[in-house]
Amino acid sequence: MTSPAQETAAAAIAIDGISAHYGRGANVIENISFDVRKGETFGLIGLNGVGKTTLIKIILGLMESSAGSVLLFGRDSGDEESKSMIAYLPEKFEPPVFLSGFEFIKFSLDLYKRSFDKEAVLAAADRVSLSREALGRRVNTYSKGMRQKLGLMGSWLTGCPLLILDEPMSGLDPRARVLVKDEIVACRNQGMTVFLSTHILSDMDELCDRIGIIHDKSLRFLGTPAELREKMKNDSLERAFLKIIENSAGVYES
């Protein structure tokens, strides 16, 4: 059991010594450890295939690790109450095409036993420039960008204290990206913890309090975007990222 005092002090996500592999193959990630603090926006960065999605699956309890542990707000990640604190948007988000936008949002809220407030949904749609008229239509009439906006709305309207967003800007045009970034900032300002995984490093630079870089199975950097640029002596976060994954000296941590 975790006491109320321990829960208050606990990190939103505490990852300790996580390793994982598929089948009988070699580990995809090895001995990964870091915390995501309550109320921060944290970005996970890495090339394709380095294990970012694997780590997210372990955090969500969708995959077992071969070693290590994950705590959510001081509780075991497999605990039902822990799972009720997470809203997750997967990288390849596809809402049920037979539902309308309103029906999908209501379905998402029902999963968390949250009440459906039509006016709140309309206001959220306005903020990300999803037309009110579209909410009454079936999702099979939506473009990729419209579906992504709907998925994001379904995540943050739950009011969960922890949002895990895997490639949240996928399919969004430049205007929509700006609006979604404003919403992520608003979620943080409301006290939510936001865990992002994306290849768009300029978004990480703008949004994230801290970032973690995974490369060659291990955690290679943990700190602020500014600290990464300073350590790599480069004003571009993208070039600083490339420099650190090409450096074999080990882990950098602030």
H/E stretch holding 35 reads: strand 27-36
144-156 and 118-127 helices, crossing angle to 10°: 130
Provide the token pair at 87.
């809203």
CB atoms near residue 84 (< 10 Å):
14
Tell me the H-state helices in 51-165: 52-60, 80-83, 101-111, 118-127, 144-156
DSSP type of residue 25: S
More confident residue, 55 or 254: 55
Locate 182 and state its tokens.
Answer: 């404003």
Over the stretch 33-43, which tens digit does the pLDDT of each residue have? 999 999 999 99
Q: Distance between CA atoms of 242 and 245, rounded to whole angstroms?
A: 5
CA 13 – CA 183 distance, rounded (Å) = 21
Q: Nearest CA to 242 among 213, 209, 222, 217?
A: 213
* pLDDT given at position 81: 86
Residue 254 predicted with pLDDT over 60: no
> pLDDT tens for residues 72-81?
999 988 888 8
The answer, yes or no, to whether residue 250 has pLDDT greater than 70, is: no
Q: Which of 32-36, 90-94, 144-148, 227-231 has the lowest mean pLDDT?
A: 90-94
Question: Looking at residues 194-208, what average pLDDT do you find?
Answer: 93
Residues 101-112, mean pLDDT to the nearest whole number:
96
CB 151 within 8 A of CB 95: yes
Query: How far is the C-alpha of 198 from the C-alpha of 177, rounded, in Å?
Result: 13
- Which residues does residue 165 pair with via DSSP β-bridges, in sequence order? 89, 196
DSSP string across 143-204: -HHHHHHHHHHHHHTT--SEEEEESTTTT--HHHHHHHHHHHHHHHHTT-EEEEE-S-HHHH
Candidates 157, 185, 24, 171; CA nearest to 93 is 171
Q: Are strands 252-253 and 193-197 parallel, antiparallel or unpaired?
A: unpaired
pTM of the predicted structure, to 2 decimals: 0.90
pLDDT band, very low/low/confident/very high, at 2 (cuts 50, 70, 90)? very low
**Res. 6: pLDDT tops 70:** no
- Give the strands of the sheet with 193-197, arranged side by side: 86-89, 162-166, 193-197, 41-45, 210-215, 218-223, 252-253
Total residue count of the chain as it appears in this document: 254
